[in-house]
Structure 1
């Protein structure tokens, strides 16, 4: 048997190191300086959640949260790359380094804060609601008991809604599949974030036959998130969020995309608009 020479071993080490470097560059960078060196900020956003993140006719992802991501990239002086995520994979994408940042309708929950770095203050807050056919006759959450209600896999409130009001939750990945199931008559309604449902009712083919007759419940703030330990990006984003609130940037974006500004957005603008920092 021929033993490997020193030269062959050294070459193998160099090749292995090069492979590790290449792999590292394929992942999203951890800090502000690395992002600037790369020249691109990679942000995970929803692509099926109008008006917060959805595709235009050309296939580009647009909406409230892509606009926020674009402003972060502008402040960093880099290009923006948007990566579509869904509720069931977004945290995994961040942990695996596929994205630098998540702006993806993430409700603020203690179990999430244990595995990702939340950005404070929370940039948004929304209620849970259910979109129902106008002809359903349902006027109270209690009337959902025993009825099939479509939902999105990974939404934190699915179990709480089922336990409190008794519907049979039928969960699907993303938001398009449950909407399709609702139109097919496979469920009586679609339980989801109220702002997204308001956005869906901007479409002519939904607003004609569907509505939000119930009062929103379970108000929950949303967080942007970076990887644990990413303190430089965390600090930059905390400052950015306060500036958005000071200038009314989020309130303006809600209006731009056709939804009524939430009480949270308006209250945070009032809180920060006269601050000096």
Structure 2
């Protein structure tokens, strides 16, 4: 999923952040997300005792009663959320969900789905929240399709928890002179479908001269895009910075890819909540502020090497 002009876009999730060089925690390997089925991995926070959860009373009673928050997520976006060698869902988002769960006295259960269906799943109440490196944008807040400009739904509220931007990467030692988005004209680019990267490429394509358009190859997830580039089927790829940097660090032991140029389009990642669920939204904001204050948030950002994208307080609908 990527930062994912916009981030992951209408249904996209910007998965790019003004974060520094990413330090990979442990010997984690970039793995496939497995299935994108309805019954996804239930990774996330361990069940917490409400008696030890200082903010449990802020949750809607229906969620307190069931003891879980169902999370829609595209679990193929290392290091934000992905599956480790054992099949467990790990990453920045699951770790943060664990910390939020301790404050709220509930378990966050991650369910795997394709990125561009997460907001729809939220509207249909399949999920309580969507947490998937999703960029907070005005279009998403207002339910506007970024491609058509038409209203397609009620929109969602966001509790912003991170800042990220978009990067370009190429095969290592073969950047073909690509340093900026304009250098992609006449090139083949792989992206995750519905992301900010795809939006940026479409916007750039309109500026490219005739006969030198960008040949875009969108995929369901970032790992498929990386595989295509690795095999020589494209000239470059684009993802949110944390994802691109993680791929550069881990793929082929650091021998497959390299980052080129600077990050662009820095914007907030947000936890998406239905517009009519303001009590859950406000409970999540209070819990996020609490884990920022108690130091757990910083530990998570440091663990995954993304501290430069950290925030100092939770914000609701801070996206532009």
- Flag whether TM exceeds 0.5 (same fold): yes
Q: Which residue of 2 aligns with 1:3?
A: none
Q: Is the 8 A contact 1:128 1:194 kept in 2?
A: yes
The alignment status of 1:158 with 2:186, answered yes or no, reads no
- The 1:76–1:202 alpha-carbon spacing in structure 2 relative to 1, beyond 3 Å, is same
Q: Which residue of 2 aligns with 1:4?
A: none
Greater per-residue helix proportion:
1
Question: What displacement does 1:204 show?
Answer: 5.0
* Bigger Rg, which one: 1
Q: Which residue of 2 aligns with 1:254?
A: 301
How far apart are the structure 2 equivalents of 1:202 and 1:247?
30
The alignment status of 1:130 with 2:168, answered yes or no, reads yes
Q: Which residue of 1 aligns with 2:120?
A: 92
The alignment status of 1:64 with 2:92, answered yes or no, reads yes
Q: Which residue of 1 aligns with 2:287?
A: 240
- 1:246-265 CA-to-partner distances (Å, cap 9, x unmatched) read 344333212212x2422x41
Q: Is the 8 A contact 2:190 2:225 kept in 1?
A: yes
Which structure ranks higher in relative contact order (CA pairs < 8 Å, sequence separation ≥ 6)? 2
2:71 aligns to what SS in structure 1?
Answer: strand
How far apart are the structure 2 equivalents of 1:116 and 1:85?
19
Task: List runs of 5+ in structure 2 lacking aligned partners.
Answer: 1-58, 143-153, 209-213, 315-320
Q: Which residue of 2 aligns with 1:177?
A: 224
Q: Is the 8 A contact 2:251 2:257 kept in 1?
A: no
Q: Is the 8 A contact 1:117 1:228 kept in 2?
A: yes
Task: Give the root-mean-square deviation of aligned CA atoms.
Answer: 2.1
Give the alignment of 1:103-114 within 5 angstroms: 103-114=131-142
Give the alignment of 1:165-244 within 5 angstroms: 166=208, 167-203=214-250, 205=252, 207-244=254-291
Q: Which residue of 1 aligns with 2:158?
A: 119
Q: Is the 8 A contact 2:230 2:256 kept in 1?
A: no
Q: How many residues align?
A: 236
- 1:203-237 CA-to-partner distances (Å, cap 9, x unmatched) read 15151131112111111111111112101101101
TM-score, normalising length from structure 1? Answer: 0.78
- The 1:248–1:190 alpha-carbon spacing in structure 2 relative to 1, beyond 3 Å, is farther
How far apart are the structure 2 equivalents of 1:85 and 1:105?
13
- The 1:109–1:37 alpha-carbon spacing in structure 2 relative to 1, beyond 3 Å, is same
